[in-house]
Amino acid sequence: MKYLITGGAGFIGSHIADFLLKNGSKVVVIDNLSGGNKKNVSPKARFYKADITSPGVSRIFKKEKPDVVFHFAAHIEARESAKDPAFDAKTNILGSLNILENCRKSGVKKIIFASSGGEVYGDAKIIPTPESYQPRPVSPYGIAKLTVEKYLEFYQKMHGIDFVALRYGNVYGPRQNPNGEAGVVAIFIDKMLKRKQPFIHGTGKQTKDYIFVDDAAAAAVSLAKKNFSGVVNIGTGKETSVMEIFNKLKNMTGSLATKKHTAFPTIGFKRGSLSVKKAGKIINFKPQYSLDEGLKKTADWFKLVYGKK
């Protein structure tokens, strides 16, 4: 089997590549390196620097003829999407359509798409939130993710391409970019290690479903190999507040940072947790890492790579 990963030099995509390569699979990576890092790509994978919106992507598909595609390339900044919805749509919707069209033309059997549980469900009234809950995205980024899910359904019905839309919780872990607006764990660790002041949005009581990247990647690979098509949540089923994350990371890094707050984003949501019962039935999914274990692995990686200043 040959797997193609868009965004394969990025955070989650590079971990998926590593999982596949360990199993002896052939891996092709497409990434424009706007958010990813070439150092994340194993030398065992074939790498192409390309943008998912580019017509040149078709040449890669024609040459490589992948069996399965993991589509993880995206513009991931939700608040930025509210400032420039057209740019977000160009990358996340039109870019995804470009990938889907190339899947159709090259005979791809299945596509695994990185969607977003929190951004698609919005401020859900049911916690943990099941896949049957009516989506209410609060940002253009979330709207784009839901739109691509609908296109995946269309391509399955019209062209027979199976799909899995992974509605992820808040994925964190090694290789996460600490310089963007997304990824509070990476941002907090980076600030704390550099003895800079991290800021907590709002009261810090807002919750999300934090899942370690190895669990997120393992679930994606398992679902790619399973005879299943549709939408599935990947999280822990647990709520954790931003304040809890702050306190745990402060202890792990030995930071002297105080609790300082900033305004809560207008497109943010107050509670988030995903029901993973469906994933449990399909692939016997159960996160292998506790929050403390995952945070420690992440903090240790940041200390090693960035150094404690």
Domain ranges of the chain: 2-171+211-234, 174-208+238-273+289-306
Which candidate in 3, 48, 141, 172 is catalytic?
A: 141
CA dist 173 and 171 (Å) reads 7
To the query of whether residue 141 is one of the catalytic residues in this protein, the response is yes
The partner residues of 27 in beta bridges, in order of sequence, read 3
DSSP 265: P
Per-residue exposure over 263-302, b if at least 16 CB sit within 10 Å of its own CB, e if not: eebebbbebbbbbbebbeebbebebebebeebbebbbebb
pLDDT in tens, 95-138: 999 999 999 999 999 999 999 999 999 999 999 999 999 999 98
Q: Report pLDDT for 76.
A: 84
Pairing state of beta strands 260-262 and 199-201?
parallel
Categorize the per-residue pLDDT at 181 as very low, low, confident or very high, splitting at 50, 70 and 90. Answer: low
Categorize the per-residue pLDDT at 278 as very low, low, confident or very high, splitting at 50, 70 and 90. Answer: very high
Domain 2-171+211-234 = CATH 3.20.20.140 = no
And the tokens for 228? 């299943």
When the pLDDT of each residue in the chain is averaged and rounded to a whole number, the result is: 95
* pLDDT of residue 306 exceeding 80: no
> What is the pTM for the complete model shown?
0.96
Averaged pLDDT for residues 66-82:
92
Indicate the CATH number for domain 174-208+238-273+289-306.
Answer: 3.90.25.10
